Amino acid sequence: MLSGFAAYLDSVKARDPAPRSRWEILLYPGVWALGFHRVAHWLFGGELYFLARLVNHMARFFTAIDIHPGAKIGRNFFIDHGFTVIGETAEIGDDVTIYQNVTLGGTNPTDGIAGKRHPTIGDGAIIGSGAQVLGPIIVGARARIGANAVVTKDVPEGATMTGIPAKPTLVEAEHYQKDFVPYGTPCSEACDPMGQKLEQLQGEVERLRKKLAELAEERDQGRRDPERRGAKAGDRA
């Protein structure tokens, strides 16, 4: 048991260069939140719902992280900083990393969708700060969700998602092949949502220019045709 806990602390240290020892990691709110959740989830599984909720509320008070007791969480889960919310039917695989202010939210229970309402996160996924992953969608293994992205559709394995709504973006091979990328997105212009938006606007402007050129050509052609018909009528006269 102790060796497994030490391995967990080492897995956190591998994803965060700040701590200089395992003792520092023991002070992390994400570590405490996960520990509280293990207890709450055990109580929830035993249908001791009030006690499970009590432990959940204690955890939220001390860590500013709200994990519903019903959420299923795999090995080596790491929440870096706090203010994260994880819903009841969320399922999280092994070696998943979540940064601050992330929501794994559910669909509105009044819309007729019963049962599974929250996302399923695959092994090794990384979710950047401020991201919102909503609904009973599947985020594939090793997927990366960029900061402040809003994800409402399934994410393929290994994809990097950015923007609102989130869309896949191309990343350099050296970044894609890395086992871990902080905050889920390599820091390059290729993954800058504003840069992508600018490229889309430039493409739209180019399409409008071509359309205007075609309309101008049609107008000039329309003017030339009557002149030609008038000249031919004068020749026949």
Q: Specify whether 236 is located in the same domain as 206.
A: yes
32, 217, 184, 22: which is closest to 96 by C-alpha?
A: 184
Instruction: Quickly list H helices, 117-192.
Output: 173-176
Token representation of residue 191: 């993954």
Q: Specify whether 218 is located in the same domain as 128.
A: no
The confidence score (pLDDT) of residue 191 equals 52
Cis peptide before 182 (omega within 30 of 0): no
The confidence score (pLDDT) of residue 52 equals 96
Token representation of residue 165: 């709504």
CB atoms within 10 A of CB 135: 18
Q: Specify whether 42 is located in the same domain as 128.
A: yes
Q: Specify whether 180 is located in the same domain as 217.
A: no
Q: Specify whether 77 is located in the same domain as 167.
A: yes
What is the domain-level CATH number for residue 131? 2.160.10.10
Integer-rounded Cα Rg, in Å, for the chain is: 27
The confidence score (pLDDT) of residue 88 equals 92
148, 137, 70, 141: which is closest to 102 by C-alpha?
A: 148
Q: What CA–CA distance (Å, rounded) separates 156 from 141? A: 8
Query: For residue 105, what are the β-bridge partners?
Result: 134
Q: Specify whether 140 is located in the same domain as 212.
A: no
Which residues touch 75 (CB under 8 Å, ≥6 apart)? Answer: 8, 94, 95
Residue 105's H or E segment, with its range, is strand 103-105
Inter-CA distances, 140 with 40, 94, 121, 183, Å: 27, 12, 7, 17
Residue at token pair 């309402």? 117
Q: Specify whether 154 is located in the same domain as 203.
A: no
The verdict on pTM exceeding 0.75 is no
The confidence score (pLDDT) of residue 85 equals 94
Low-confidence ranges of the chain (pLDDT < 50): 173-177
Residue 120's H or E segment, with its range, is strand 120-121
Q: Specify whether 129 is located in the same domain as 196.
A: no
Q: Specify whether 61 is located in the same domain as 162.
A: yes
The confidence score (pLDDT) of residue 173 equals 42
Q: Which amino acid makes up residue 85?
A: V
The confidence score (pLDDT) of residue 215 equals 87
Domain of 142? 2-185
Q: Specify whether 8 is located in the same domain as 23.
A: yes
Q: Specify whether 84 is located in the same domain as 35.
A: yes
Token representation of residue 15: 């994803």
Q: Quick check: 158 and 101 in contact, CB under 8 A? A: no
| Count of domains for the chain | 2
The confidence score (pLDDT) of residue 198 equals 64
Q: Specify whether 8 is located in the same domain as 29.
A: yes
